[in-house]
Structure 1
Amino acid sequence: MIIKRKNILAAASVAAMVVTLGSQAQAQQRYTVGSLAEGTTPFIVNTAWANAINKYMPGHKVTVSAVGAATKHAILVAQGKMDFSMYAPIQYRLLYKQIGPYKKITNGPELTEKISQLFSYPIGQYHVVVYESSGIKSFADIKGKKVFLGPPAGVATRNTKLIIDAMTGYQPGKDFVQVKMGWGAAAQAFQDRKIDVWITVTTSPSPSVSQLTLSNKIRLLSLDESKFDHPSWKKYISQPGRNMATIDPGAYGPNMVNTEPVLVTGAVVGLAVRSDMDEDLVYNMMRAFWDHQEDAHAMASFMAKTINLENAVESLAHPVHPGALRFYKEKGIKLNIMKLSK
C-alpha cells in the first residue's frame, strides 16, 4: 500500500508539472516577422529584432520567416496573419495606389492604415554579381544570359527591371532570361552556377557575397552615369528612399576583380508592425531592441552604421505605430514623418 501511495503521489507530481509547463507554454506570446533571405540586411536586422525581444521580454517569442516576398509579407501583416515585416516607403505608395505588385488589390488605402512603421534603416545597395569566368563585364554583356532580378512579385524586381532598361534597353523574356525564384533559392542557384547574373540587395560587405569570394573570383557591375537621363532611371530614382553609393574595389578582398569603385544604388526600408498591436507592447519591444542595440551591432560588421537612432527616423512614413511614437518622444527625438499617399 505504501508503494502504491508513493506511485500515486509521484504520478500526481508529474501531472502537476505537465500542467504547469503547459500553462507556461500557453502563456508565451508568439509572433512572426517576415524577412528576405538569410545573408541579406533585412534578415540580419529582423533576426536582431527577434533576438532582443526573445532575450529581454520573457514570455514573448518572435520567429523569423524568410519565405516569400516582402510585398506578400506586408499584405499578411495588414491582414493580421503576420506580426512584423520589412516595409519600404515605395511599398506604401504602390499599395495605396494599387499598382505594380499590388495591381490586383482593391482595398489598398484601407490596408495601408493597418501597417504601421517602427523604424527605418538602409537596406544596402543593389549588388549585380557575376563570376569573372562568365566574361560579363558590364550591363551590356547580360544579353542572352540567365538573370535573377528578384522574386517575381517583389518591389526589387520592379526596380531592377527599370535599372536594366535604363542601362541597356534590354527587356526580360526578349533580351535575357528572367530567372523566377525567391531570394534564398536564387543565392543557391548562383552558387551552383545555374544562373549567370545574381542581383541581391544588401549592405557592403555582404556576408552572402563574401562567402562567394572565398573560392570564386567575382565582379560587381557598375552603373553608367551617362544613362541617368533615361526615363526608366528617372522613374526609379524618383521613388522615396532611393540613394546612390560606391563600393570600394577592395570591399570583398582579392577575389573581387573590380579595379575601380563600383557605382551602385540603394534604398532605405524599415520594420513594420500590425497597426492593431497593443501600444504598451510595441513600446516595450522598441525599448528591448534599441536599449540593447549593441547586441545588433555585434551581428555583422556593418550593423553599427545600419542600426542607430539617426537612421531609425530618417525615412519614417505615415502611419507610425503609437508605441514607437511614444518611444521616440521619451528619447527626445524629433520626427519628420513622410506622407506618401499622394
Structure 2
Amino acid sequence: MSTVRRTNVTRRILGVMVVALLSVLISVMNVEAQKTERINFVGGPPAGVFGIFATGIGTYLSKTVPNLDVSVTATGGSVENIRRVNSKEADMGLSFASDVHEAYYGLEKFTGKPLTNYRAVGLVFFGVAHLITYEDSGIKGVGDLAGKRVALGTPGSGTFATAERVFRSLGIWDKITRIPLLGAAAGEAMSDGKADAFFWTGPEPDRVTTEAATKKPVRAIDIYTPASKTEFFKQYP
C-alpha cells in the first residue's frame, strides 16, 4: 500500500494556461467558414502532465470544431512553449502563469527581452510544487538537500524554472546535484536509487508521487515555510 508522509506540505499554486497567437484565435473563431485550419499545439514531454493535457485538448478540438486539425508537438515544457508560440514556431501551447508573466514583462530569464506576441486563452489546471523523497533518505527539510541528487525537471520546462526560483531563494541551488529529469522519469530515478529526491509541479494528488510510494513510504518536504522566511513570495507574488 502506498504511503505519503507530509511534513507541512507546501501548496504553491501555479496556474497552467493555454497561450496562443492572436491571429490563430481569430482564425479559429472563423474556421467553420473556411477550409481546414491546421494548428500546432505544443505541450511537453509525452509522459508528462503537459504532454497528456495537450494531447487531450488537441484531440478534443479536432473532433468537436469543424474544419480544424490540431497536431500536438512534444517539447521541453512551459518556457520553451512560450518562446515557440511567440516566434510563430507553434500556434498554441501550455505554460505556467508565472512564466507567462515573466516573459510578457521581460523579467528574470527574459530580462531585457520581453515576449509579447501571444495571448492567454484560459486556465487549464492549478499546479502544486512537490518536493518528494523517501522516508528513509534522511532528508527531513530543505537544508538536508545539500550534497544530494535532486531530479528537478528538464531545462525549458516550467518545473525546472520553478525549482530554480525556489532553490535559489533558499540558497541551495548550487549545493545540490541537479538531475535533468521530469515527471515520471524523475520519480523512477528516485525509485531506482539514482536520485535522492525529486521536485516537480503538477496536479495533486499526482501520479508520480503515488507511483513512487508503491515501493516504500515517501515524505513530502515543506518548502513553503522556509521560502516564506526569504524574499521569495515578494519577488514572485
TM-score (norm 2): 0.71
1:53 is matched with 61
How many residues are treated as equivalent by the alignment? 203
Aligned positions of 1:214-229 closer than 5 A: 214-223=214-223, 225=225, 228-229=228-229
Structure 1 CA distance for aligned equivalents of residues 200 and 226 of structure 2: 23
Structural mapping, 1:1-342, within 5 Å = 29-38=37-46, 40-103=48-111, 106=113, 108=114, 111-112=115-116, 114-166=117-169, 168-172=170-174, 175-183=175-183, 185-223=185-223, 225=225, 228-236=228-236, 238=237
Q: CA deviation at 1:191?
A: 4.1
Deviations 1:22-51 (A, max 9, x none): xxxxx7543332223456543443233112
RMSD: 2.8
**Which structure is higher in RCO with an 8 Å CA cutoff and minimum separation 6?**
2
**Aligned partner of 1:171: which letter?**
W
Closer/same/farther in 2, CA of residues 37 and 148 from structure 1, 3 Å limit: same
- 5+ residue gaps in structure 2? 1-34
Query: Take 1:37 and 1:230, find their aligned partners in 2: how far apart are those partners?
Result: 32
Contact 2:131–2:223 under 8 Å retained in 1:
no
Which has more radius of gyration? 1
Percent identity between matched residues is 20
- Larger mean Cα displacement after TM superposition, 144-153 or 223-232: 223-232
TM superposition shift of 1:144: 0.4
Structure 2 counterpart of 1:164, one-letter code: F
Cα distance in 1 for residues equivalent to 2:189 and 2:36 = 38
Cα contact 1:36–1:183 (8 A) shared by 2:
no
Offset at residue 146 of structure 1 (A): 0.9
1:142 Cα offset (Å): 0.9
TM-score (norm 1): 0.51
SS at match of 1:201: strand
Is the 8 Å Cα contact of residues 41 and 123 (structure 1) preserved in structure 2? no
Judge which range, 136-145 or 39-48, deviates more.
Answer: 39-48
Residues 91, 161 of structure 1: CA spacing in aligned structure 2 closer, same or farther, 3 A cutoff? closer
Matching residue of 1:257: none
